[in-house]
Amino acid sequence: MNQDIRQQLLAEQAFLSRDLADTPANAKLTRMSIEARLRKVQAELSALAVEEWQPARARLTFDGVPVIGSHGIFADFGMKAVSSFTDAVASVAASLAAPLASMGPIPNRDQNQLLITNTAIGSFGFELEEFRGSQVSMCDESPMSIALEITQALLQSTLQSDDDLADVASETDPRALEKIRAFLKVLADSEAVCALQYKGQSIRFSDVGQVRSSLERLSTENLRESPQQLEGSFVGVLPQSRTFEFRLADNQQIIRGKVTAAIQNIDDINQHLHQSVCIAVMTTQVGNGKPRYLLTNIPAWEVLPNAEN
């Protein structure tokens, strides 16, 4: 959505409304001119609301043993692969609101849906489009659009360095990671590859060996996640980038990390800088790489007694 245009039109609408209210009733020509311009601005705003929002769309295509050129795809593989992919994206979307339980239904599954709107041309696959109910604001970026971006970035990072993989994986819920592993396993078991296109970016596995390598890199033996409690104090938090610096109490080392998307009002932490606290983080390490830290909860700050007068 082009926020600049919207803000300009809203500002002009407010100005014209005030100008009209201040114009005397007997200044008919002036009032008619202002009213005409106000109607035009309001029409542009109405058209903008209809035309600007577009559902997130992705293109998921397959190749390999289960795919017969551009003619068709084995139904059992196609259903299993698409179902596994949509489960992964829905899990990522749900995790944006709160950490996922290790078992049980994925929250808000009915609200985080993808539609198959067409078959992909050129190779065999599907065009997918997010389904957004009328209860969701069309002015906001939806969880599904964000989840598609994260899923694509995670798949891409499995083809890159350990640092790249750790950066993305550290901000992905463990259960959502497991769903992405499951999708890659469906591909590997069927000797298939996939390509995912979203927002002008594309991730493509060139062969089944690459899929198996990515699955191995996402394995719990290579990508290790563990919850930790750290004692120390915050040095600072940047709300826009959702990053923090924390000084460890035992060795005074400063570590840097990210704040989970489920935490709101993270700027409140800046009111407690240099105050001793215990924080809960998820530590992610790929291979022998540097660990990444994700703050998973707002700390419980110690209530200091009021100073005596």
pLDDT digits (tens, 9 = 90+) for 165-212: 999 999 999 999 999 999 999 999 999 999 999 998 999 999 999 999
pLDDT(295) > 90: yes
Phi first, then psi, for residue 297 (nearest 5°) are -145, 150
What residues pair up with 78 in beta bridges, in sequence order?
none
Tens of pLDDT, residues 229-275: 999 999 999 988 899 999 999 999 999 999 988 888 898 999 999 99
CA 307/CA 263 separation, integer angstroms: 31
Question: Is the per-residue pLDDT at 153 higher than 60?
Answer: yes
Query: Could you tell me the two tokens for 38?
Result: 């106000």
> Higher-confidence residue: 183 or 40?
183
CA 69 to chain centre: 33
Long-range interactions of 64-72: CB distance < 8 A, separation 24+: 64/187, 64/190, 64/191, 64/192, 64/193, 64/208, 65/190, 65/191, 65/192, 66/190, 66/191, 66/192, 67/123, 67/124, 67/192, 68/124, 69/124, 70/121, 70/122, 70/123, 70/124, 71/124, 72/124
Is the domain defined by 224-295 classed in CATH 2.60.200.20? no
C-beta separation of 67 from 124 below 8 A: yes
pLDDT value for 52: 53
**What's the pLDDT at 18?**
85
Higher pLDDT, 270 or 53: 270
Q: Give φ, ψ of 254 to 5 degrees.
A: -100, 120
pLDDT category at 97 given cuts 50, 70, 90 is confident
Question: Which candidate, 150, 168, 172, places its Cα nearest to that of 160?
Answer: 168
pLDDT band at 102 (very low <50, low <70, confident <90, very high): confident
What is the biggest distance separating any 2 CA atoms in the chain, rounded to whole angstroms?
Answer: 84
| pLDDT for the residue 308 | 46
Altogether, the residues listed in the chain come to a count of 309
Which residues, at least 6 apart from 119, have a Cβ–Cβ distance to it below 8 Å? 125, 126, 127
Give the integer Cα–Cα distance in Å for 104 and 212.
28
Residue 307's pLDDT band, with cuts at 50, 70 and 90, is very low
pLDDT by residue (tens digit) across 9-34?
Answer: 888 888 888 888 888 888 888 888 88
Position 156 pLDDT exceeds 50: yes
CA distance 151 to 88: 8
Compute the distance between CA of residue 162 and CA of residue 166 in angstroms, rounded to an integer.
Answer: 6
Q: What are 104-148's pLDDT values in tens digits?
A: 999 988 889 999 999 887 678 999 999 876 545 555 678 999 999
